[in-house]
Chains A and B, each alone.
Chain A
Amino acid sequence: MSVDRTPPGNNSGHTPGKPAGRPSAPAPERKPPRAPAQAAPEAAEALPATLRRNAPLVPTDTAASRSLAAVIAILTFLAALCAGAAEMVSASAAQWQGSVAQEVTIQVRPAPGRDVEADLARAENLAKAEPGIAATRVFSKQEAERLLEPWLGSGLDLGDLPVPRLITLTLGTPAPDLKHLRAGLGEALPGVASLDDHVLWLQRLSTMANTFVGAGVGIVALVLVATGLAVAFATRGAMAGNREVVEVLHFVGADDDFIARAFQRRFFGLGLRGGAIGAGLALLAFWLAGLLARAWRSGPAGEEIEALFGAFHIGWRGYASVLAIGIIASLVTGVVSRLTVRRFLA
């Protein structure tokens, strides 16, 4: 096979370059020439290994890309912090609720002409008789008075005051029928004994925790919407900046979907980078906060911090939601850029 590699640009003769298989070759299909099959391995072998072959079709504008990745990282970080905090509050609230709900209290008020100790014993017996009550504990008079110390101060003689007395009941399994117990107490000791199952307290706690989690979810949603809008603006900017690229791609036979995919690939990459950085920073922040909380626990404020936040760790659900937010932010970036391009091209 004779191969004349004289290019048109260097061909000073009267005939154009005639490589094998190019215009001089027979063309049964009456089509422009093709490289013959046997030329393929030779050409492929001769292709330098360093040749760049599949660069992204949408040029990467470094400054704009970095800014967008930074915006996505910051938004992801904020959303992840929010989700982690909501998860922490929800876990702590569940912990409190769990421990509070395991106990109920019977309050026995001293009444004129009644022996409070006898009333206490009667109430305790009623409680013990109720199936599902695991244990009972009667607070002594001294213990009841000590409970008032934070309000009234110590060293007072409370002997003459009608201090209500308490019996704590630990709930077992199966859960006892508290209504039945309440009715029993009302019948046996009317106006003297009452049962407090902390329902009001639990309701408030649960409302607070739900409000916090709801606000967290709302903020995460808002941040994701903001990410989507930022990406839509950036995509429009990139489309406008690359109008000529888009036009050339159309002329060489690219359909809208191909062009949309090229943009989507680029923006998904940016979203993934931003999402990973943001989620990574959020995980680092929780880890550091955990370390600090552990270090402070020995200090005077430690107990309050622990009481409020528990052990200050967000648990596997917290970590999972932080990672999920990073991934969702990247997906939002990819999908929004694709939709924006499709709308722009239409």
Chain B
Amino acid sequence: MKTASLLSGAEAPVVQFENVGMRYGLGPEVLSDVSFKIAPHSFQFLTGPSGAGKTTLLRLILLSVRPTRGLVSVFGEEVSGISSGALTALRRRMGVVFQDFRLLDHLTTYENVALPLRVQGRAETSYRAEVVELLRWVGLGERMHALPPLLSGGEKQRAAIARALIGRPDLLLADEPTGNVDPGLGRRLLRLFLELNKLGTSVIIATHDYGIMDTVSARRMVLGEGRLRIEE
């Protein structure tokens, strides 16, 4: 199996799906018999037409929904019946960039980016320098006071990415991260994700922007009619 060959040695997959099916309520199956593995330090696109189930797949990985059938393992842990403490620990190893950013409008850019560290109960002084450094790096050094409603689409995008990166995730999930920005910025953000991947983070980017995908040769997970096809 090709996916297995991506795994280096004994390293366990970051995410593993086995015959996963998912339906909402009594509706039709959004995902059927989805099986795949995400190797550590790997980079892949998740693509498919709108409504193909990309966001549902990401939500399954994020453990915000549970599969109707099949097995989902994240960081080697099978997630059915997982305790809420273990769930929190798994989520702290993931960074996520939502399509609609999901920045908290009542917090400044600085506070939004610092959020993953703050929720770990760390003192503000212990992460201040880190957050400021990252904000400067993503070009928001001058915008840390600003509340999200006052940020441009690109700035929100970068704030959301910074928030996903601040906790040094082992796995980064990005849902249409280039959907709200011009193609130039989209390509630059993509390079940012590639750079992160080189440093060891596994990256999954959900997109249907072929322009972006064609610039990188990476594994593509293509969803169509609820089924997954993997193009190496």
Contact = CB atoms under 8 A, between A and B. Distances in A.
A23 B119 contact: no
Interface string A246-290: 011111111110100000000000000000000000000000000
Among B125, B128, B155, the one with the most A-chain Cβ atoms within 10 Å of its Cβ is: B128
A46 B168 contact: no
A189 to B, nearest CB: 84
Interface in B61-95: 62, 64, 84-85, 88, 91-92
Nearest to B125: A44
Contact of A254 (B88, B96, B163): B88
A129 interface: no
Contact of B192 (A16, A57, A245, A249): A16
A16 B132 contact: no
Contact of A15 (B62, B105, B133, B191): B191
Interface stretch (A1-9, A82-90, A168-176, A180-188): A1-9
Interface of chain B, main secondary structure: helix
Interface stretch (B12-20, B42-50, B195-203, B204-212): B195-203
A251 B58 CA distance: 12
A9 B158 contact: yes
A46 B188 contact: no
Contact of A256 (B84, B107, B133, B158): B84
A30 interface: yes
Contact of A52 (B108, B138, B165): B108
Interface in A15-37: 15-17, 19, 21-24, 27, 29-35
Interface string B95-107: 0100000101111
The A interface, classified by DSSP as helix, strand, loop or mixed, is loop
A258 B91 CA distance: 14
Contacts of A161: none
Interface string B102-141: 1011111011001110111100110011101110111111
Interface in B156-212: 158, 163, 165, 167-170, 184-185, 188-189, 191-192, 194-196, 198-201
Contact of A44 (B116, B120, B129): B129
A214 interface: no
Contact of A255 (B64, B84, B194): B84
Nearest to A47: B132
A258 B119 contact: yes
Contacts of A41: 129
A43 B144 CA distance: 13
A53 B124 contact: yes
A35 B129 contact: yes
B92 to A, nearest CB: 4
Given A16-B191, A53-B128, A251-B62, A31 B167 contact: no
A39 B107 CA distance: 25
A52 B145 contact: yes
A10 B105 CA distance: 24
B111 A5 contact: no
Nearest to A4: B137
B154 interface: yes
Contact of A9 (B108, B125, B167, B185): B185
Given A30-B200, A244-B102, A35 B120 contact: no
Interface of A: 5-12, 15-17, 19, 21-24, 27, 29-35, 39-44, 46-48, 50-55, 57, 59, 244-245, 247-256, 258
Those 10 A-B pairs whose CB atoms lie nearest each other, nearest first: A7-B139, A30-B200, A40-B129, A35-B133, A254-B119, A253-B92, A23-B195, A59-B106, A43-B129, A43-B132
Interface of B: 41, 62, 64, 84-85, 88, 91-92, 96, 102, 104-108, 110-111, 114-116, 118-121, 124-125, 128-130, 132-134, 136-141, 144-145, 154-155, 158, 163, 165, 167-170, 184-185, 188-189, 191-192, 194-196, 198-201
30 contacts: A7-B140, A8-B139, A8-B185, A8-B192, A9-B155, A9-B158, A16-B194, A17-B139, A19-B133, A19-B136, A21-B133, A23-B199, A30-B200, A31-B200, A32-B199, A32-B200, A39-B129, A41-B129, A42-B129, A43-B130, A43-B136, A46-B132, A48-B145, A51-B110, A51-B144, A53-B110, A53-B114, A55-B106, A57-B107, A249-B119
